[in-house]
Amino acid sequence: MLNFDFYNPTQILFGQGQIAAIAKHIPASARVLLVYGGGSIKQNGVYDEVVAALAGFTVTEFAGIEPNPSYETLMRAIAQVKAEKIDFLLAVGGGSVIDGTKFIAAGALLDTDPWTILEKRGSNISAALPFGAVLTLPATGSEMNSGGVVTRKSTQEKYSFMSRKCFPKFAVLDPSKTYSLPTRQVGNGVVDAFAHVMEQYMTYPVGAKVQDRFAEGLLLTLIEEGPQALANPDDYDVRANIMWTATLALNGLIGAGVPQDWATHMIGHELTALHNLDHAQTLAIVLPSMLRVRKDAKRAKLLQFAERVWNLSGGDEDTRIEAAITRTEEFFEQMGVKTRLGDYGLGARDVDGVLAALEAHRMVKLGEQRDVTLEVSRKVLEMSL
């Protein structure tokens, strides 16, 4: 097992009715900014519950954080935070709203252009306003991690950042608030969480037995419960299992002490920045080909994945590996997330543009062995046509 330094201070308030508990976790004198997205929270009752829970606080709002939150929108929120002397943020929504709130929290306290947070991947964050989160879409893990992803629309750049100052103080996970999700977002969430586990598990063995078993447990739960969420959308236990799984998939626990990949995510971010695909759609396209192209470097873990997750133990190694990748692909399709570039209207003509973006953003040595060069990325994209 590799050395590690695991830190996670986020308090989790899990279960139905927990929105009412947020008042206890916000300083009584706080000037709160309620941050949300395009308005789904006004249709499903979450907004009303949050407003009721904040009775007695000084509250203003910033609405309109878009999926794949933009620097341009978030800069308007930072201006509002400064003008209104806000000292606590409450993110209510999915990963985009929570990521956006992290950027606002850190950007508001920075004396240079907050875009530098993305350029420096968060290393220049020395302080951030405190914030909480009410999660409405299980997917990213942002509710219990310190990372965020922000897009600069004008230049089509999508970068991530990370800082220990950017953990939510608390996160409410009420599974009943996910009943209103469109099926596309249910599928996206399950695929994103699956990919997060794979980025941390599907590398090479380092004898990290408990991380491996946790990771396999999360994958098995997604495989079992994901289709159930599509078939029985109002099943509380199904929603609860998916919600907690997505959080655990990227809260640092399974990634501690193991090598990590993230090449699929980096290529995926370019596809979203250039072609506006949903985050999970990009992962469903890239991940299966990434595994096929890098089969030799990942052989031991692919065989373990085949046996423990997909129950494949017959046939020679290559047959088992290919069967496990095919099953993964079929699972993404079963969740309603298509796995080919062509399914989204993209083709061979678009590959060069993605590679140029990877090069411009210095994404030329990706993966756990830093061996995912532009040539490897080209192979992956061409295999995903």
Could you tell me which residues come within 8 angstroms of residue 95 by beta carbon, excluding any fewer than 6 positions away?
Answer: 137, 139, 140, 141, 142, 149, 279
CB-wise, 102 or 320, nearer to Zn ion? 102
Task: Indicate whether 73 belongs to the interface with ligand NZQ (CB under 6 A).
Answer: no
Site for ligand NZQ in 213-232 (CB under 6 A): none
Please name every residue paired with 58 in a beta bridge, in sequence order, or none if there are none: 31
Binds 384, which of ligand NZQ, Zn ion, none (CB < 5 to 8 A, cut-off by type)? none
CA 340 – CA 328 distance, rounded (Å): 13
CB-wise, 198 or 302, nearer to ligand NZQ? 198
Tokens coding 276:
């506006």
Choosing from 8, 31, 38, 373, the residue that interacts with ligand NZQ (CB under 6 A) is 38
The amino acid present at 155, given as its one-letter code, is T
CB-wise, 32 or 74, nearer to ligand NZQ? 74
CA 192 – CA 156 distance, rounded (Å): 21
Nearest to 137 by CA among 178, 174, 83: 178
Q: Is 279 helix (H, G, I), strand (E, B) or coil?
A: helix
Binds 185, which of ligand NZQ, Zn ion, none (CB < 5 to 8 A, cut-off by type)? ligand NZQ
Query: Interacting stretch for Zn ion, rule CB under 5 A, among 57-65, 190-198, 226-234, 287-295?
Result: 190-198
Binds 358, which of ligand NZQ, Zn ion, none (CB < 5 to 8 A, cut-off by type)? none
| Cβ 195 to Zn ion shortest distance, Å | 6
CB-wise, 239 or 294, nearer to ligand NZQ? 239
CB-wise, 169 or 269, nearer to Zn ion? 269
| Cβ 10 to ligand NZQ shortest distance, Å | 12
Query: Interacting stretch for ligand NZQ, rule CB under 6 A, among 6-14, 90-98, 109-117, 252-260?
Result: 90-98
Site for ligand NZQ in 133-152 (CB under 6 A): 136-137, 139-142, 145, 147-149
Q: How many residues does the chain have?
A: 385
In the sheet with 170-173, reading across from the earlier edge strand, the strands are: 11-14, 170-173, 131-135, 88-93, 31-36, 58-62
CA 3 – CA 193 distance, rounded (Å): 25
Q: What share of the chain is helix, strand, coil (3-state, %, to 5)?
A: 55, 10, 35
| Cβ 311 to ligand NZQ shortest distance, Å | 28
| Cβ 260 to ligand NZQ shortest distance, Å | 12
| Cβ 318 to ligand NZQ shortest distance, Å | 30
CB-wise, 192 or 261, nearer to Zn ion? 192
Choosing from 143, 192, 212, 270, the residue that interacts with Zn ion (CB under 5 A) is 192
Half-sphere exposure of 308 (CA within 13 A, CB side): 18
Q: How many residues bind Zn ion (CB under 5 A)?
A: 1
Buried b (16+ CB within 10 A) or exposed e, 138-171: bbbbbbbbbbbbbbeeeebbbbbbebebbbbbbb
Note the helical H segments in the chain.
Answer: 40-43, 46-53, 71-83, 95-107, 115-119, 183-201, 209-231, 236-249, 263-275, 279-293, 299-308, 317-334, 351-360, 374-383
Binds 203, which of ligand NZQ, Zn ion, none (CB < 5 to 8 A, cut-off by type)? none
Query: Interacting stretch for ligand NZQ, rule CB under 6 A, among 54-62, 178-186, 229-237, 376-384?
Result: 178-186
Nearest to 53 by CA among 18, 85, 81, 27: 18
Half-sphere exposure of 370 (CA within 13 A, CB side): 1
Tokens coding 126:
């020395």
Site for ligand NZQ in 242-301 (CB under 6 A): 250, 265, 279
Q: List the x/- string, 95-134, binding to ligand NZQ by CB under 6 A.
A: xxx-x-----------------------------------
Question: Which residues in this chain contact ligand NZQ in the complex, by CB under 6 A?
Answer: 37-41, 44, 67-68, 93-97, 99, 136-137, 139-142, 145, 147-149, 177-178, 180-181, 185, 188, 192, 250, 265, 279
Question: Which residues in this chain contact Zn ion in the complex, by CB under 5 A?
Answer: 192
